[in-house]
């Protein structure tokens, strides 16, 4: 599965688009570092206790109750809702998760900003973990440690589908499918697999996706004053600093001057009547091609329209 580069590319005009934004880069490094530590401890024992067992007992997500394969009670701790997200079972496990994190996450971080992206990422992982340990025992009799970034990654995928629903993803590298269809299909498959006995934490995937969905819905509700501008690509989203940490390279005074110019131009052109249909068309264009795909006139229209709501 991969992205169609023709549809995914973003020019660097709007403050630049980073293929490796800072938080994605840090998450990749941290996950790889933890994986290396896991591999080292796999060959070490502590007073006869395998190193991997010690790691799982204290840092993997333990069930709230029950006994592990050694007959020892599981050791659930609150911090495990964070630490389990950075542990992986094998090379294929971490390779797949890190590739998906980078592929979908780089654009989401460029969109949200690094700080907000990290909060969103960790919350998705926490939601995935809570779903696994609270609902898991009800649906299945098997209890086991949970590790991996998959739950948080599914949250990132949901964000991508909601912010870029019509972006094409090359499924198996040669079948173009819109993000909203492919990712919805993958989540549905996970939902119907929650009772399946396997090493895959399907319930955690569903939990991460659900947490992300709720987070984005609540964020949209708080960010926009009008239902007309509940679209995450409206200029209200761009003009109030949501992108400042990643995209804005200009001084605040320069932006204020440009804002004033926009108002002057808008108010002086009495013959330029902007209808709601025109605004809706611009919003649809953003959902397909991104904000950078707008003309200067369309950006100005959207900017001024957002100030009126």
Q: Which two tokens stand for residue 226?
A: 């009008």
**How confident is the prediction along the chain (309 residues), in pLDDT tens digits per residue?**
544 333 333 333 334 457 888 999 999 999 999 999 999 998 888 888 888 999 999 999 999 998 888 888 999 999 999 999 999 999 999 999 999 999 999 999 988 889 999 999 999 999 999 999 999 888 877 788 999 999 999 999 999 999 999 998 887 777 888 999 999 999 999 998 887 766 788 899 999 999 999 999 988 777 654 444 444 444 444 434 343 333 344 444 444 444 444 444 444 444 567 777 787 788 777 766 666 677 878 777 877 766 554
Give the list of residues 6+ apart from residue 53 with CB closer than 8 angstroms, or none: 70
Residue ranges of domains in the chain, CATH in brackets: 2-223 (1.20.1540.10), 227-307 (no CATH)
Determine the Cα–Cα distance for residues 214 and 218; give it in Å rounded to an integer: 6
Whether the Cβ atoms of residue 230 and residue 302 lie closer than 8 Å to each other: no
User: In the chain, where do the E strands start and end?
Assistant: 2-3, 45-46, 49-50, 168-171, 175-178
Residue 7: the pLDDT is 39
Question: Hey, which residues does 149 pair with through a beta bridge?
Answer: none
Whether the Cβ atoms of residue 219 and residue 162 lie closer than 8 Å to each other: no
Residue 288: the pLDDT is 63
Q: Say what the pTM is.
A: 0.68
Whether the Cβ atoms of residue 245 and residue 113 lie closer than 8 Å to each other: yes
């Amino acid at each position: 599965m991969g992205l169609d580069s023709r549809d995914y590319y973003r020019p660097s005009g709007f403050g630049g688009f980073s293929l490796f934004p800072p938080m994605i880069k840090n998450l990749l490094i941290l996950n790889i570092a933890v994986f290396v530590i896991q591999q080292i401890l796999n060959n070490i024992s502590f007073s006869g206790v395998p190193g991997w067992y010690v790691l799982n007992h204290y840092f993997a997500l333990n069930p709230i109750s029950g006994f592990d394969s050694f007959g020892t009670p599981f050791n659930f701790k609150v911090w495990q809702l964070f630490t389990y997200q950075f542990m992986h079972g094998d090379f294929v496990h971490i390779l797949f998760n890190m590739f998906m994190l980078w592929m979908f996450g780089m654009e989401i971080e460029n969109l949200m900003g690094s700080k907000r992206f990290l909060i969103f990422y960790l919350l998705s992982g926490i939601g995935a973990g809570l779903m696994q340990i609270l609902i898991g025992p009800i649906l299945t009799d098997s209890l086991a440690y949970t590790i991996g970034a998959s739950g948080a990654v599914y949250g990132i995928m949901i964000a991508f589908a909601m912010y870029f629903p019509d972006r094409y993803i090359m499924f198996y590298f040669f079948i173009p499918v819109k993000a909203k269809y492919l990712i919805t299909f993958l989540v549905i498959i996970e939902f119907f697999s929650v009772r399946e006995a396997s090493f895959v934490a399907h319930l955690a995937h569903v939990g991460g996706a659900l947490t992300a969905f709720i987070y984005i819905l609540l964020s949209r509700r708080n960010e926009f004053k009008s239902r007309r501008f509940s679209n995450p690509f409206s200029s209200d989203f761009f003009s109030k600093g949501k992108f400042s940490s990643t995209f804005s390279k200009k001084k605040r005074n320069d932006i204020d001057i440009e804002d004033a110019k926009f108002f002057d131009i808008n108010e002086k052109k009495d013959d330029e009547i902007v209808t709601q249909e025109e605004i809706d068309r611009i919003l649809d264009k953003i959902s397909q091609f991104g904000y950078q795909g707008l003309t200067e006139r369309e950006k100005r229209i959207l900017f001024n329209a957002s100030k009126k709501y």
